[in-house]
Structure 1
Amino acid sequence: MPTPAPHGIHKRPLLRDDVYNSIRDAIVDGTFGPGERLKDPELEQWLGVSRTPIREALLRLERAGLVKATPGRATIVAPLDPASTVSAQQVVAAMHELAVRLAVPLLGREQLAALTEANGRFAHALEHDDADLALAGDDAFHAVFVRACGNDMVPAVLDQALPLLRRVERRRFSSHAARHSVTAHAEIIRLAGLGDAEGAALATRNNWLSLGAGEQG
């Protein structure tokens, strides 16, 4: 579809992450479809920034596997590639498994309550077929463990690998296939509450790997 018309998305000069997130989200939600050409002037007009942050964002998106660039030619939204998606899924599953294993011994009542609250928001969003809020709830759930794990490499690796899964995640969150993840999350919470780091870590790994089988991370 065409580049969205300018509508004041950002009221202040964009930081690099703002530009990256805006283009990434437009790819994930289908505003920019697979194979669509991304033109610098149109992106500049849409986001209200100069070419430099646009090019930096596109380079990050290329490393994340969401766009493909040919020197001197077009930059396009990358087609959905099952092999690349599986590779990213394996890395994301491993990182979240590690985060849970490290975090569970450190969790307190506040973090456990945050997990329950996030899963409740996730379930509510799925019931109302709101894929965007479902993604936000799922992110909030897993972020509890990532923040608590104490390993700064985990979010860094996830930032690289997770964007490639977003298009698949969003499609699943738009269907009934994701409902099983509410139960999966509840089991992770139960195991974490018991202090079973290994059990919660393996349940988290299976939750993410089930994405390819029609379920959600």
Structure 2
Amino acid sequence: MSLDSPVSRRLLSDEVFHRLRDSIVRGELVPGEKVKDSELAERLGLSRTPVREALARLADIGLVEAKPGVYTRITTLNRRDAEKTLAVLRALDQLALETAVPVMTEQDLRSMREANRDFERAVAGDDTTAALAADDRFHAVPITAADNPVLSRIVEQVHPQIHRILYRKFSTLLGGRNTIEHHDQLIDVCATGDARAAAELSGQHWSELGGHINQLFDTNQFAEAPTA
């Protein structure tokens, strides 16, 4: 949904938060861009209060940074933050698999396979939004099966930091056959009930992703144009 579409009054604060978060992930609000609650409120057709609340929540999860009385801006992409976020996501994904694999059902495995087929079709169609949504559904299966609300909440908070990198460089980072094949391998290991092996395989994938992201930083592919 576009940032400029009118916002319904139901669950207003949450809707504004999700709208702004998604706009940051997609790059509609670019890293380093200064934002004003009054201008965003006008675009959304709202008062400033829910926009301020949303910006405060976005600051809590690291997508927005503010210097009171000076600026509020979209955080830039930097290697250090990416590395730390990836380390957290890797640990959480491994914990989810270690907890979930022993209790996963055939329906869980089917859901993972269906998500991976959707991911494969989205990759073939060069549809980044659909591919990332399918990838989220794939990884959500063990997270849900782990039945750990704290884990789920933290993943939801930190995932957007990596999603905006993936969105910008999807074809380089996730667009190849290797991710599809990794997903299939992970499903096969989960089906054996070997939680440790599943966690190790997942950790390898996160490490590979981190290496690819580092290469992009090395070649300055996340450099931002100067903002006013």
Aligned to 1:15: 12
The letter of the residue matching 1:198 is: R
> TM-score normalised to the size of structure 1?
0.90
Greater RCO, 1 or 2 (C-alpha within 8 Å, sep 6+): 2
Instruction: Give the C-alpha shift of residue 6 in structure 1.
Output: 3.4
Contact 2:166 2:173 in 1 (8 A): no
SS in 1 for 2:169: helix
Q: Out of 192, 195, 202, which is 2:193 matched to?
A: 195
Instruction: Give the C-alpha shift of residue 173 in structure 1.
Output: 2.0
Q: Distance in 1 between matches of 2:3 and 2:212?
A: 35
Residue segments in structure 2 that go unaligned for 5+ positions in a row: 214-228
SS in 2 for 1:76: strand
Instruction: Give the C-alpha shift of residue 177 in structure 1.
Output: 4.9
Q: Out of 180, 183, 196, which is 2:181 matched to?
A: 183
1:121 aligns with 2:118: yes
Aligned to 2:209: 211
1:106 to 1:194, Cα distance in 2 relative to 1, 3 A? same
Q: Distance in 2 between matches of 1:165 and 1:42?
A: 27
1:56 aligns with 2:56: no
Contact 1:6 1:45 in 2 (8 A): no
Aligned residues: 211
Contact 1:177 1:214 in 2 (8 A): no
Residue segments in structure 1 that go unaligned for 5+ positions in a row: none
The letter of the residue matching 2:128 is: A
1:5 to 1:82, Cα distance in 2 relative to 1, 3 A? closer
SS in 1 for 2:69: coil
1:174 to 1:21, Cα distance in 2 relative to 1, 3 A? farther
> TM-score normalised to the size of structure 2?
0.86
The ranges of structure 1 where at least 4 consecutive aligned residues each deviate by more than 4 angstroms after the TM superposition are none
Q: Which deviates more from structure 2 when the two are superposed, residues 100-109 or residues 37-46? A: 37-46
1:178 to 1:210, Cα distance in 2 relative to 1, 3 A? farther
Q: Distance in 2 between matches of 1:35 and 1:50?
A: 24
Instruction: Give the C-alpha shift of residue 101 in structure 1.
Output: 0.9
Contact 2:3 2:44 in 1 (8 A): no
What is the alpha-carbon root mean square deviation over aligned residues?
1.8
Q: Out of 26, 29, 54, which is 1:29 matched to?
A: 26
1:97 aligns with 2:94: yes
Q: Which deviates more from structure 2 when the two are superposed, residues 41-50 or residues 168-177? A: 168-177
Spell out, residue by residue over 1:20-79, the C-alpha distance to the aligned partner (whole angstroms, 9 max, x if none). 111111111110111111111221122233222211211121122211101012211111
Contact 1:93 1:208 in 2 (8 A): yes
Contact 2:92 2:155 in 1 (8 A): yes
Contact 2:93 2:143 in 1 (8 A): yes
The letter of the residue matching 2:21 is: R
Q: Out of 138, 146, 149, which is 2:146 matched to?
A: 149
Contact 1:13 1:49 in 2 (8 A): no
Q: Distance in 2 between matches of 1:30 and 1:157?
A: 23
